[in-house]
């Protein structure tokens, strides 16, 4: 039997997800990555698989499918993951009202609940009890160490499915069935372009015409907590309520957003919403901010990091706040509200992009959908 072949361009999470889905369907897959390893947004994040932030209409189900694939991949490859769940914390009556509205809206459809302050503190010793009104608990969320996972997944895909990776090989042109890197070329039946924020090289006119920009975020990592202390679920402050579309079902949310705009204008201006996850080593990843445009100052803004830390100290208590490192990441973002971009610029070529900041949460599920819709 002659197996079909596929080329995937990009070894970030979207490219790895497409490689897995294609391989599971019997394709011979070759992946090209311009760097010696993936170094962009796929490793510069919280490592959160985050269904709680996804609205209905298929995105929540896509996130759950992604989570199930992550669990399978982590189990088979020996990668660490933790089904930690998440807590959104309320320190004002309005925030607490919204969390109760969310629990009522999703009752019976998601594993969530509005819980009292005492129960929230029981679930996580890292929660600041002072002034706490209550919390919104979700059991869906999982954490992986993205830096390790994205680096190790190519070896897993090669060992299990025979996927061939070409690192340090930038594809500069495509004319189906061939892709080109300088004078070298390769061919395949199907070509998938998963280039993330580096969308100026291949089909730049397509991206220019389809509502794309970029988002820069700033993040930090704190040193491993002493004594193997764990925070349990990922923690979020009230600002996250105005960031995720899933929370738009709460009738009181517009009032909260207006309140933040009036009382915390710098946080709204720089798109700061504050959350924390913990990796296997006990290190805490915290952030983040959101700046939009096509080119950015390459240097971090210290005042943004200060905003994040100041707000986090209002709802979290850690045993060690020592800073290990800080960084920024850049990901592609649709400006028309769409959650992804699946487009065929020519027969046999498919662009998979536009997942915004939800690549870790949605890519595996999206790849399955792309393959199913195209009869792959």
Give 178-237 pLDDT, tens digit per residue. Answer: 999 999 999 999 999 999 999 999 999 999 999 999 999 999 999 999 999 999 999 999
Given this chain, do its domains 5-62+146-209+338-373 and 123-130+212-334 carry the same CATH topology?
Answer: no
Angle at 247 between CA 17 and CA 240, to 5 degrees: 80
Helices (H) and strands (E) in the chain, counts: 10, 21
Say if residue 348's pLDDT is above 90: yes
Fold annotation for 123-130+212-334 = D-Amino Acid Oxidase; Chain A, domain 2 (3.30.9)
What are the pLDDT digits (tens) for 38-52?
Answer: 999 999 999 999 999
CB 210 within 8 A of CB 35: no
| Alpha-carbon torsion (334, 338, 341, 345), positive or negative | negative
Kindly report whether the peptide bond that precedes residue 288 is cis, defined as omega within 30 degrees of 0. Answer: yes
What are the pLDDT digits (tens) for 311-324?
Answer: 999 999 999 999 99
* Contact residues for 166 (Cβ-Cβ < 8 A; gap 6+): 30, 31, 32, 33
Compute the mean pLDDT over every residue in the chain, rounded to the nearest whole number: 97
CB 124 within 8 A of CB 232: yes
Percent of the residues in the chain that have a pLDDT greater than 70, as a whole number: 99
Q: Please state which CATH class domain 5-62+146-209+338-373 belongs to.
A: alpha beta
What are the pLDDT digits (tens) for 79-101?
Answer: 999 999 999 999 999 999 999 99
Distance CA 137, CA 144 (A): 19
Within 13 Å of residue 57, how many CA atoms lie on the same side as its CB?
8
Distance CA 49, CA 142 (A): 5
What are the boundaries of each domain within the chain? 5-62+146-209+338-373, 123-130+212-334
Three state DSSP letters for 280-304: CCCCEEEECCCEEECCCCCCCCHHH
Indicate whether this model's pTM tops 0.85: yes
**238 secondary structure, DSSP code:** G
Instruction: Pick the closest to residue 87 from 41, 124, 131 (CA basis).
Output: 124
**Residue 1: band (very low, low, confident or very high) from pLDDT cuts 50, 70, 90:** very low
Distance CA 103, CA 242 (A): 16
Say if residue 375's pLDDT is above 80: yes
**Residue 2: band (very low, low, confident or very high) from pLDDT cuts 50, 70, 90:** low
As a whole number, mean pLDDT of residues 288-299 equals 95
What separation, in Å, do the N-terminal and C-terminal C-alpha atoms of the chain show? 16
- Please state, as a whole number, how many other Cβ atoms lie within 10 Å of the Cβ of residue 32: 21
As a whole number, mean pLDDT of residues 97-108 equals 98
Cα separation values, 92 from 171, 225, 300, Å: 52, 29, 31
As a whole number, mean pLDDT of residues 293-318 equals 97
| Alpha-carbon torsion (224, 226, 232, 235), positive or negative | negative
**Residue 340: band (very low, low, confident or very high) from pLDDT cuts 50, 70, 90:** very high
Say if residue 57's pLDDT is above 90: no
Distance CA 229, CA 231 (A): 7
| Alpha-carbon torsion (365, 371, 373, 375), positive or negative | negative
As a whole number, mean pLDDT of residues 333-344 equals 96
Say if residue 266's pLDDT is above 50: yes
**Residue 3: band (very low, low, confident or very high) from pLDDT cuts 50, 70, 90:** confident
**Residue listed under structure tokens 């700061």:** 272
């Amino acid at each position: 039997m002659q197996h079909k072949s596929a080329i995937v361009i990009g070894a970030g999470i979207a490219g790895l997800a497409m490689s897995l889905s294609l391989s599971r369907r019997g394709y011979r897959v070759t992946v090209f990555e311009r760097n010696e390893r993936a170094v962009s947004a796929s490793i510069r994040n919280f490592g959160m698989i985050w269904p709680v932030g996804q609205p209905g209409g298929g995105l929540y189900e896509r996130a759950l499918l992604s989570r199930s694939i992550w669990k399978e991949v982590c189990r088979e490859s020996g990668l660490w993951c933790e089904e930690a769940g998440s807590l959104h914390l309320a320190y004002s009556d309005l925030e607490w009202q919204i969390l109760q509205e969310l629990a009522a809206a999703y009752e019976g459809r998601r594993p969530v609940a509005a819980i009292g302050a005492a129960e929230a503190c029981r679930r996580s010793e890292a929660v600041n009890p002072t002034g706490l009104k209550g919390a919104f608990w979700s059991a869906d969320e999982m954490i992986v160490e993205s830096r390790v996972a994205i680096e190790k997944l190519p070896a897993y895909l090669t060992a299990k499915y025979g996927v061939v990776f070409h690192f340090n090989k930038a594809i500069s042109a495509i004319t189906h069935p061939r892709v080109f890197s300088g004078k070298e070329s390769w061919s395949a039946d199907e070509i998938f372009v998963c280039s993330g924020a580096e969308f100026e090289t291949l089909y730049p006119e397509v991206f220019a015409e389809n509502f794309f920009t970029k988002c820069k975020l700033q993040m930090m990592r704190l040193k491993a907590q002493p004594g193997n202390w764990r925070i349990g679920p990922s923690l979020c402050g009230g600002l996250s309520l105005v960031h995720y579309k899933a929370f738009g079902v709460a009738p009181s949310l517009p009032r909260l957003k207006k309140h933040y705009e009036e009382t915390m204008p710098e946080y709204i201006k720089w798109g700061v919403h504050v959350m924390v996850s913990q990796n296997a080593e006990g290190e805490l990843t915290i952030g983040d901010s959101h700046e939009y445009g096509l080119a950015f100052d390459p240097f971090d803004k210290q005042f943004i990091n200060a905003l994040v830390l100041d707000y986090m100290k209002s709802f979290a208590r850690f045993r060690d706040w020592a800073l290990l490192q800080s960084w920024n990441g850049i990901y592609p973002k649709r400006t028309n509200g769409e959650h992804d971009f699946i487009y065929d610029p020519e027969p046999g070529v498919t662009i998979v992009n536009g997942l915004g900041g939800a690549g870790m949460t949605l890519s595996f599920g999206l790849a399955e959908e792309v393959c199913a819709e195209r009869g792959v």
